[in-house]
Structure 1
Amino acid sequence: MLPGGERSIRPCRRGWRGGVLAVVAAFLPSVALGWSNHPLCTWQATAVMPGMADRMVRAEAVGTFLADVSGRLPAVLDGEEKWARETLPFYAPRPDDLRFGAAVGDEAALRAGFLHAIRVNDGMTLGLYVQRPPGVDVPADRLFPWSSASVLRTLEDTDPHSLERVAEGDMVRVADVVATATNEPDFGLDIDLWQDNGAAQGARYGFGVQPFGNPHLSYGTQAPFHMGFYHESAIVYRTAGYLQRTYPEARIHLFMTLSRFAFAQGHPYWGWRFAGWAVHYVQDLGQPYHVRVLPGVSAASMVWIGVLDRLGVHGPQVAAVIRVTNRHVVLENYQYRRMSAAYRAHDMDDPLLMALRDTSDDVSLRRFASSSVREVISAQSAAVAGVLDAQLVRTFPAADVVAAEATLDVADRDMNIVSRQAPPGEQARMTRLVADRMRQVGRDTRAVIRVLDPEAAGR
């Protein structure tokens, strides 16, 4: 059991390999978010794109969209399924009975059929709303109910009062549609989709048993959809092959396909909303703790901790789990608190916000392709994972990032890591490293939007 009674998924194997399996599985239970409150990143990343600030689009209900395209959508989704089966070696095929049909139905039936066909949480209503930045008040009569946006009771990094209702036909900024959509995958799209999650949809979807993560935590079941471990050592893959059962590539490709389809069918609102969904997973892979299982921990150390655990010496494993979990939480809390404060203070010169607007590296990912996920995006964040992990230790109190007494609570709204920093030199180094991550996130966000935007063709 993890501290607080949380049980991790630990595949049962014999010998030293089983020890490694147990340790690797134990390191993955707690934090399934990537960057906290994705719109904070997306608004800045898109602010420097020519014309984006002024572009408007007419909001469209999901039922209206699906009713118009229901006859043409099945072939598109069939083509996407064919691509996934042929391209992704650990992909779990979609059961045939989930195929989206062209039958006419009311909005609820169309939405349910669509959600089942793309295998996301069928409790998502996909209502019309936009999220507003920190410091921008939404009038009480314009508030969009949190329960209509998310299947989760609460989200620690998003103020429920920041959601503004939109009516079908309203003109909204494209930048706000995209930014709002980049948060939706963390509102529950990928919650409870596995066979052992206790939900009816999980029993139907064919993904099988959850490969890693903690199904008892509110975000734990989405972990394999938001993490991509493509750059581990051979020994890790030999002993923990289940780590390769991850789905960011499938999600990115699916939502980019849907975005292109929506644009081509004359539904630009949904073209931009699907684009935002794709961007979410791309941004997640810029988070080092989402692309490396154990930043700063060698395979040899993993083996040794696993051996000790199997011999009954559980302390090293428990301590290691808490350390990695807490560092992940600290990094996200630092990013979220600092960026939120900058928005409220209208400090657009904060280094993290400036880095998101920095286009100097855009040429390195001018044209986004499927191969970019592994070869560029996750590879770059994986390469700096160890350095960032070590800097967290030098920057923040040992009680948060070294001591192994208790896990930090990612849902603790009173936790403010920014106020607990170390001396100025370490603060500056931490700022540079996180700004570098934000620079990548800004570049990658623009790369996805650029390749999907019908008006950007040929630029």
Structure 2
Amino acid sequence: MRHLRPLRRCLCLTAAFFFAAQPVAWAWSGHALCTWDAVGTMPQVVGHSVPAEALTTFLAMEAAALPKVLEEEEQWARTNVPFYAPRPDSLAFKAADGAEPVALKQAFVHAIRVNEDVPFPLYVQRQPGTVAAAGREMAWSALSILKDAGDIDQKRMERVEEGEALSVADVIATATDEPDFGLDIGLFQDNGQKQGALYNFGPQPFGNPLLDYGSQAPFHMGFYHEAGILYKAAPFLQHTYPEARVHLYMTLSRFAFAQGHPYWGWRFAGWAAHYVQDMAQPYHARVLPGVGTVSMLWTSVLDKVGVHGPRIAALNRVTNRHTALENYQKNRMTAALAQGDKDDPLVAALRDTSGDATVQRLQPTTLRDVSSVQSVAAADALDAQVERSFPARYVSDAATNLDGKDADLYALSRQAPAAEQAKLAGLVADRMRQAGRDTRAVIRAVAPDGTEAAQR
């Protein structure tokens, strides 16, 4: 209706203001920390090893079979993923026999539409408390296209050789961090990178395209349960791709297992699990936890008449709380794993299988209909608890720009009253419990029947 147009325009501007400046596009700081204990007792995983295999070896051996698999996957996405931007037919995987490794890799990354400069090295991430073997340390530039490693502990990244036996748990855990190393960077046409002009994703719908990692946001966030009026005002919020990524990598995982490539079966499974774990993070499932639609509208009105403070304060608050939560999770879990403390509430929650019957095998609708629903329900309470659990300068001060490396928020949280510490640990443990459940659901959905075929 005509009288609603100004409201919709104002809401659209509000969302645009918030997301154009929103720098956080990571979910958990260190997905591997969320994975080792989640899968560590699964019969498909525990005690098994697989030989490392280069991506180009896998592609060369399966060049004839991959086109059909990837074309069927593309047709599935076009049919089942709302607002999906179709892959140009010219990018369909067509690898000629005897193609050079560089050409094979480029054909593959174009077909699945990821950043074409990601190196895909053979490496493994060691658990906290250990470091890479001498002489096998990996430089950050050999792992990622991003300039800044953030809070990734590079000392635990270890180069491995093709054919070297690796534990399945380490392969999966290592892979769960990889989508944050650049797979989804620079894919939109306004990102200034070469593949952005090829992939047909259009302009970046939200997130800051000028930030080093900001362009991955639409692939790692899924806003499936906002108010209808917000979608009418800001339809770009629905242009997200976690569902497509999870289904693609699970399809590739099953294919790799079926063709006798267990290493890539598990590595692709780890990639899929990354996005599933992202959906356990409320700041990836809600546009602005703790901020209602009416508040967003009023903030936008004030900003339009020159009162910019409320918008800046709201943006910094949400951004800093997102970052503080990740910092707390990463530092607490790193310390617990390094000390062998399996009873830490966050670590123990990852092993809790009491809710696994809810999601036994991950389905195409799980992210939208189950995982994100639970994260949305937890968002406001967790946001409020973050405010109570950390010093105000880190989570409420509009002048603070918390980048995740400023302080150890786990250490600072211990300055709060014991009751508040326990509440925060319980709420974050609930998020870990969901992440563990859904990670196991990915593994059960892709692993071959029996473990022998998965390890050969």
Q: Given the two structures, how large is their TM-score scaled by the length of structure 1?
A: 0.94
C-alpha distance in 2 between matches for 1:14 and 1:129: 53
On the 8 A contact 2:95/2:107 being kept in 1, the answer is no
Matches within 5 A, 1:373-412: 373-410=367-404, 412=405
Of 21-30 and 123-132, more deviation after overlay is shown by 21-30
Matches within 5 A, 1:346-385: 346-385=340-379
Can you give the 5+ residue segments of structure 2 that lack an aligned partner in the other structure?
A: 452-456
Q: Which residue of 2 aligns with 1:440?
A: 434
C-alpha distance in 1 between matches for 2:18 and 2:446: 36
Amino acid at match of 1:211: P
Secondary structure of 1:164's partner? strand
Secondary structure of 2:138's partner? coil
Q: Give the CA deviation at 1:356.
A: 0.5
Q: Does 2:42 match 1:63?
A: no
On the 8 A contact 1:19/1:310 being kept in 2, the answer is no
Amino acid at match of 1:54: G
Q: Which residue of 1 aligns with 2:39?
A: 46
C-alpha distance in 1 between matches for 2:18 and 2:319: 7
Q: Which residue of 2 aligns with 1:23?
A: 14
C-alpha distance in 2 between matches for 1:167 and 1:154: 26
Deviations 1:108-160 (A, max 9, x none): 11111101110000111211111001210212212233212111123222111
C-alpha distance in 2 between matches for 1:26 and 1:179: 36
Q: Find the partner of 2:249 among 237, 243, 255.
A: 255
Q: Which residue of 2 aligns with 1:94?
A: 87
Amino acid at match of 1:95: P
Q: Which residue of 2 aligns with 1:218?
A: 212
C-alpha distance in 1 between matches for 2:308 and 2:65: 56
Amino acid at match of 1:396: F
Q: Which residue of 1 aligns with 2:454?
A: none
Q: Which residue of 1 aligns with 2:408?
A: 416
Deviations 1:402-459 (A, max 9, x none): 221232123x2x41111222111100100000001001100010000011111359xx
Q: Which residue of 1 aligns with 2:146?
A: 152
Matches within 5 A, 1:169-188: 169-188=163-182
Q: Which residue of 2 aligns with 1:288?
A: 282
Q: Give the CA deviation at 1:51.
A: 5.4
Q: Which residue of 2 aligns with 1:298?
A: 292
C-alpha distance in 2 between matches for 1:324 and 1:78: 40
The total of aligned residue pairs comes to 443
Q: Which residue of 1 aligns with 2:233?
A: 239
Amino acid at match of 2:223: F
Of 100-109 and 353-362, more deviation after overlay is shown by 100-109
On the 8 A contact 1:93/1:206 being kept in 2, the answer is yes
Secondary structure of 1:70's partner? coil
C-alpha distance in 2 between matches for 1:158 and 1:396: 22
C-alpha distance in 1 between matches for 2:370 and 2:174: 25
Deviations 1:355-394 (A, max 9, x none): 0011111111112110111111111111110110111111
Amino acid at match of 1:83: W
Deviations 1:60-98 (A, max 9, x none): 111111011111101111101101111112000101111
Q: Give the CA deviation at 1:43.
A: 0.3
Secondary structure of 1:189's partner? coil
Amino acid at match of 2:64: G
Amino acid at match of 2:87: R
On the 8 A contact 1:144/1:164 being kept in 2, the answer is yes
Q: Give the CA deviation at 1:14.
A: 7.7
Can you give the 5+ residue segments of structure 1 that lack an aligned partner in the other structure?
A: 1-12
Q: Sequence identity, in percent?
A: 58
Amino acid at match of 1:394: R
C-alpha distance in 2 between matches for 1:408 and 1:154: 15
